[in-house]
Structure 1
Amino acid sequence: MPGTVEGNATNRFKRNLRKSLRILQTNLGRERAAHDIAFATVAEYNIDLLIVGEPNKTIIKA
């Protein structure tokens, strides 16, 4: 039912279903180079959320 209140709500709902959240979860093993690779991957693949296990403690304090 395009043009009706119900039709408009349905169209908005369908558009929202197409949106996605890109998540990358990785264990960096405390390696400094792994941070650089993870950040480059986030930029290259348009990642929305990066979850890091075993980060480099020196980078965390900076």
Structure 2
Amino acid sequence: MKIVVLGGTGLIGSKVVNLLRAGGHEVVAASPSQGINSITGEGLSEALTGAQVVVDVTNS
């Protein structure tokens, strides 16, 4: 299953990403440092293509 984690490189997000990957999921760790900005929308459409789940841990 493809899962996009907004804030996926932060303190909490990185742990969520690791757990999901360990569970065998295809995970996109979405963050501005990865070229995906949930506020401006930059790279967001591409990241969300084919995703079944979005987890938002921005500002967590």
Please indicate the TM-score interval, normalised by the length of the shorter structure.
0.3 to 0.5
Normalized per residue, which structure has more strand?
A: 2
Normalized per residue, which structure has more helix?
A: 1
Normalising to structure 1: TM-score of the pair?
A: 0.38
User: Which structure has the larger Rg over C-alpha atoms?
Assistant: 1
Normalising to structure 2: TM-score of the pair?
A: 0.39
